[in-house]
Every structure is written in structure tokens, then in C-alpha cells.
Chains A and B, each alone.
Chain A
Amino acid sequence: MRKVMALISVCALLLISCAESTQSSFIPVDYPEWTQTTDEILNYSIPGHGSGLRKIFINGLGLEYREELDNGRMTYNFPNGTLIVKEVYSSPNPADSDEPFQLTAMYKDPGHPLQRGGWLWIVKNMSNGSETILNEEFCFTCHNNANESFPYGDGNPFQAFQDFVFYLPSRADGLTTEGGT
């Protein structure tokens, strides 16, 4: 019950916040045809997204992220224009016919005035189709944890800079990393 309440409250908060931020349009209708960042079933509870199933898609540009050492620390940097879309379902085990109740997205645009960490943090209102760039620290603060060790996936044991993405997708050139955001 507590998890459900947390899920509902977070979703409500995200939807309400749309009225306070900038309207935009980033997420194309064919995003489900993109590469999913991970095969892992993401239906465990996490702060901010609850315990509903998450499916994560990344556009082709995002698969060409750079991987390099910076003063001994591994860094991964996604190219500008990378778009990562996360479907959030209300149930941990939705039926095939179920639609996600929410879409959140990250769009790489370091020059945008609302960017945080070089990304725009976007939420789509599924009831009216509107997209909003969030002007809050909330998403960025949590995703900042992706650049140090965290308890998901491989846990980023060497504290690489993962460009605010928790699970790196497999790169287009065949180099692979377990994925998910």
C-alpha cells in the first residue's frame, strides 16, 4: 500500500509540475521502435518512479556515446541530441495491451537555459499529450547518483562518469555495457 501511495504521489507530482515549466515537443511517436537500453525487467521499486514497470528506449544517436579516460577516471558522454525515453507503467507486471501512464525523457542539449547536467528533463502528460521541460532539481539530483556507485545494475563500481545515465546501453560500435536509465 505504501508503495502504491508513493507511486501515485510521484506521478501526481510530475503531472502537476507540468503547469509550472516550459511546454515543448521532443518525444516522437515511433520511439517504441528504438533500441531498448536493457533487457533487464525494471519493475523493482525506485525513488521517484515507484515500482511500476519501466521500459527505456534510446535513439540511434545516443548509441554513439563517447567513452574515454579523464585523469584516470572513465567517462561516458552522450552526443548532443541524444534522446532517452522511459515508459512508466502503473503495474510491475502490466498486460501487453496496457499503455504506460507516463513518459519521462532526457534530451542532451547543453546550450538550453533549462538544462541541468547538459540534459533537459522532460515529462509527458499522457492525458493531453503535452510535454514539459522540468525546471526543477529533482530529476537531476537523483540522476547525479549515476556518476558514482549506486545499487542498480552493475552499480558503477569504479564510479565512472556515466553522464547522469544509470544504465549505459550497448554502444553502436559493439562495445557493450549493461543498460537502463
Chain B
Amino acid sequence: MAARRFVPITLKVNLLIIAGMVIGIGSISFALASTLFVTIDEVSMQNMAGQADAIYAAIESLMLPGEALLAQGFFQRLNAIDAGRQVHLYRSDGYEAFQDNATISQVNEHLGTLMFPTRIPPPQVEQLDLDHSGFAQALGSEGLPRDVFLREAQGDRVFYRVLKPLINLPKCTVCHGSDHTIRGVIDIRNDITETVRLQQGAVLAASGGFFFLVVVLGLAMSRLMGRLILGPIQKIGRVCEGVTMGDFSTRVNVAQEDEIGNLAERVNTMIEGLVERFKLSKYVSGSTIRSLSQGEEGSSVPLSIVFTDIRGFTSYTEKHAPEQVVQTLNSILDLQTRIIHGEGGDIDKYVGDEVFAVFDGKESCAAALRAALAIQNALQDQGPSLDGLAVGIGLNYGQVIRGRMGSETRADFTVIGDNVNVASRLCSAAAAGEIIASLEFIKELKREGKPGAEAKLEGPFSLHVKGKSSALRAFKFRHQEGGKK
């Protein structure tokens, strides 16, 4: 499985902020702009529909008494008033009305008299494209005749256009006959190029404003988030990294009354707890610390037990100054402690010049033996500096009772039992530089499959110890030939 790429949280948060603002503000801006444009379009179309109705009514009024010239003049005047708005009337055959004599001739024929004089037609009469979809719709190609609203572009100009059918009303049939329903189409075309430009300008301005807003608000939000969340998180991260590297003096300096502040306070509390535990570990056993943290009660467990005792230490104390006695004792205890800890053992307690240690786990006997051999080697190597002092070591394995021993006000988490006593007695029996182990220890050592290749096993031999009516079967470990002595 490929490793996931590290993406800083600052980048994620900033991206989220920008995305949220782009989507949020963008959507609102788009919706507002769209609504505005639609509203403008609708209002424009409604205005044009109103114009179309007014022009329709005017044509009705002008044409009813047969005043075609007045209607024609009306159109010309409308077109002169505003060049951007052009109004034309086309017959249903697509030709522009009031230009030739087709309608006049038809009316005169229907009336049976030359009621209306003919005119001199222009050389060419404009005709709408009959296939124009709007014109056809106005005439009713897709249902009833209806007003058609269009938005058209010609070159760089944009137009709104209304095509309104002129119905052959009953009152019109007097002159025009009743054999057709639609007389023609009123075509109103408004040039909205400037309006479109204004809309485009508004879109550009809104886009620019939107972009500016996103950038400014994005930066502000980013700084705010950095100050309130990301900065403190980074501080906490740096402190945790320092603690990992062993710097227990560092603390998180975040003064916020919120979740981040609470987190910083908890981290500081956690560091102080670690410091206390670290200090405590110098004075009490690891099992005591574990028992305190885990709330262990008494239990019977199999352990390897190690006792060491400095030989001739009493006479040493009598011959040396107290300062030197303490210094030498601490040196020997420190040496043993480091070796025992290095092999995974736990110092249960120091009793004068005696060390009481236990080893737990699947290969506890092998670890205990390695520690005992290492202690003897180390003391032998450093003999001169330790005034030639040496230790005897007793090893045992078996069930012991582990638990908190003592009163409510002062207690130790320790192990007790006959197997502890046996280990102590074996230690007492060991001469300087010797390691004596019980039969149970040897059996367990073999069962673990780690018989201690670097040591030579001697025994068994019988050993009478205090508190035991029968002799113990014991063994001694010595370094193999060629091995480090």
C-alpha cells in the first residue's frame, strides 16, 4: 500500500475556506445576477408587450375608418421617435403593409367599389422570411396565433423582438372579408445592445468584486484560522515533538478559553504527569508504577527472581569513610540496575547492599541468567575501581504473590512467597562471584530453550538453607572456557 502524501492542515483548511467561499459567494452572486438578468428580460418583454398592445389598439382605431395613410404615418412617426425601436406591419404573405396596392385592391374588390385610391408602389417591397420561426408562430404554425417574443443578434447588435398577430376581427371583415383569420403581423424590434453591454459590464464588475471579496475574505479567514486554530495546534505539535526527544521542560503556551486551550492544558498536564512518573521511576519499581496506573490488586504469577548481595560489605563499611561507602555502594547498585533494566528486569527493591529483582515474561529465566552473568562480568572487570567488592547471586523461578503490600498510607507493590525466600537463601549461599540457581530455575530455563550457552552449569548439589527442612537441589553457573570471565 502506497504511503499517503503528507498534506499540511493549513493547506487543507485554506483550501476548504476558499472552496466554501467560491461555492457560497459564487452561488449567491450567480443566483443574484441570473435573477437580475431574468428580471430585466421579463420587464423588457412586458414593456414590449405593452407597446405591442398599444400599437395594436392604435392600428385598430386608425384602420376602422379606413385611414390607412394615418396608420402608415403613425408607423413612420414611431420609427422616427426612436431609431432603436422599429415598428413594422407585415401582411400574412410576409410583405410590408402600406407599401403596395395589394390590400387596397382586395378591399375595393370586396366592397365592389373604388373606395380607396391606389398609390404608386415603391420599386421593391420588403418581405419577411416566411420561414422565420417567429413569424410562422405568430401566424399560428404551432397552434393558435400568438404573440412571439424573441431575442435576436445581428452582427454586434442585439434585439428584443415581438411579433404580434393582427387578427381579422369581425369589424375588420366589413372591408377585408371574413375568409381569413389573420391579417398580418406587427413586428416591434427594440435594440437592446446598450442594455446587453450594461449587463456584461455588471457581470464583469460583479465577477471582479466576487474575486476581490474571495481573496480578501480568504486571506482574512486564513489568518484568523491560523491564529485561532492552526498556530496553537502547531505549538502543541512542537511541544509533543520536544517531549518525544526527551525535553520535559517544554510546555504549551496557549491562552485560549476554547477546545484548543483545553487541549493545550491537557497536554501540559500530561507532560507534568510524565515528569512525575519519570522522577518516581527512580525511587520505586516499574511494577509499582504500573500497579498505580492500572490499579492492580493481588495475584499469583510465575516470575524469575534474582537476589544479589555484596560480599564483605559489612567489613568494608567499617574500614572506609561513610561518603566512600555510599559512593561505592551506589556505583555497584547502579551498575547492577542498568544491567537488570537492560535485560528487561525490574528492581523490586534495594535492601541495604542487596538487590531484589524480578523478571517477567516468556523468557524470564534466560533474561535473569544473562543479567546475573553480566553483573558478575562487570564487577570482575571493574573490581579495582570498586575496591575489589563482588556479589553473590541467587536465581529462582516459580509462583509468587504479587500485590500492594503495606498500609493505606505507605505501601509497596512487591512480590512475596516461598519462592522469593528460596531465591534469597540461594543468594546467601553464593560466594563472591558465584551464581546459584534452583532446580526449578534450571528446568524453566531448559523449557524456554535458552540454557545459557555462555555459562557452564555445575551440579546438582544439595544445599541446606534456613527455613527449609530438606535440602534444596541447586546448580552453579560458571563461564564457559574461552568465554569472557
Binding site for B on A (CB under 8 A): 2-3, 6, 9-10, 13-14, 16-17, 19-20, 44-48, 134, 136-138, 141-142, 145-146, 148-152, 166
Contacts and interface: CB of A to CB of B under 8 A. Distances in A.
A47 B169 contact: yes
B406 interface: no
B167 A47 contact: yes
Interface string B166-196: 0111110110001111000000000000000
B121 interface: no
Nearest to A49: B181
B479 interface: no
Nearest to B168: A47
Contacts of A150: 170-171
B170 A47 contact: yes
B171 A14 contact: no
B146 interface: yes
Contact of A13 (B145, B169, B170, B174): B145
B140 A13 contact: yes
A145 B173 CA distance: 12
B309 interface: no
Contact of A20 (B143, B147, B173, B181): B143
Given A46-B178, A48-B181, A152 B170 contact: yes
A145 B140 contact: no
A151 B180 contact: no
Nearest to A146: B170
B146 A136 contact: yes
A9 B455 CA distance: 120
A151 B181 contact: no
24 contacts: A2-B180, A6-B181, A9-B140, A10-B181, A13-B143, A19-B143, A44-B178, A45-B179, A46-B170, A46-B178, A47-B170, A47-B178, A47-B180, A48-B181, A136-B144, A136-B145, A136-B146, A138-B146, A138-B165, A141-B169, A146-B170, A148-B171, A152-B170, A166-B170
B178 A45 contact: yes
Interface in B46-61: none
A104 to B, nearest CB: 12
Contacts, number: 67
B144 A134 contact: yes
A131 B439 CA distance: 110
A47 B144 contact: no
Interface in B101-148: 140, 142-147
A148 B178 CA distance: 18
Given A13-B143, A137-B147, A138-B145, 5 more contacts: A6-B181, A13-B140, A17-B143, A136-B145, A138-B144
A117 to B, nearest CB: 14
Contacts of A2: 179-180
B173 A47 contact: yes
Nearest to A20: B143
Contacts of A44: 178
Contacts of A152: 170
Contacts of A13: 140, 143-145
A17 B179 contact: no
A166 B169 CA distance: 12
A16 B136 CA distance: 15
Nearest to B142: A16
Contacts of B169: 47, 141-142, 145
A178 to B, nearest CB: 15
Given A6-B179, A45-B179, A142 B170 contact: yes
Contacts of B165: 138
A104 B178 CA distance: 19
Interface in B173-228: 173-174, 178-181
Contacts of B170: 46-47, 142, 145-146, 150-152, 166
Nearest to A2: B179
Nearest to A141: B167
A146 B170 CA distance: 9
Nearest to B53: A137
A137 B143 CA distance: 12
A137 B180 CA distance: 17
Contacts of B168: 47
Contacts of B179: 2-3, 6, 45
Contacts of B173: 46-47, 151
A47 B181 contact: yes
B167 A142 contact: yes
Contacts of B146: 136-138
Contacts of A46: 170, 173, 178
A136 B182 CA distance: 15
Given A46-B173, A47-B167, A141-B167, A14 B144 contact: yes
Contacts of A10: 181
A19 B142 CA distance: 10
Contacts of B143: 13, 16-17, 19-20, 136
Contacts of A14: 144
Nearest to B147: A137
A166 B146 CA distance: 22
Contacts of B140: 9, 13
A45 B181 CA distance: 10
Contacts of B144: 13-14, 17, 134, 136, 138
A63 B145 CA distance: 32
Contacts of B180: 2, 6, 47
B444 to A, nearest CB: 96
A142 B171 CA distance: 9
Contacts of A19: 143
Contacts of B171: 145, 148-151
B174 A151 contact: yes
B50 to A, nearest CB: 14
Nearest to B165: A138
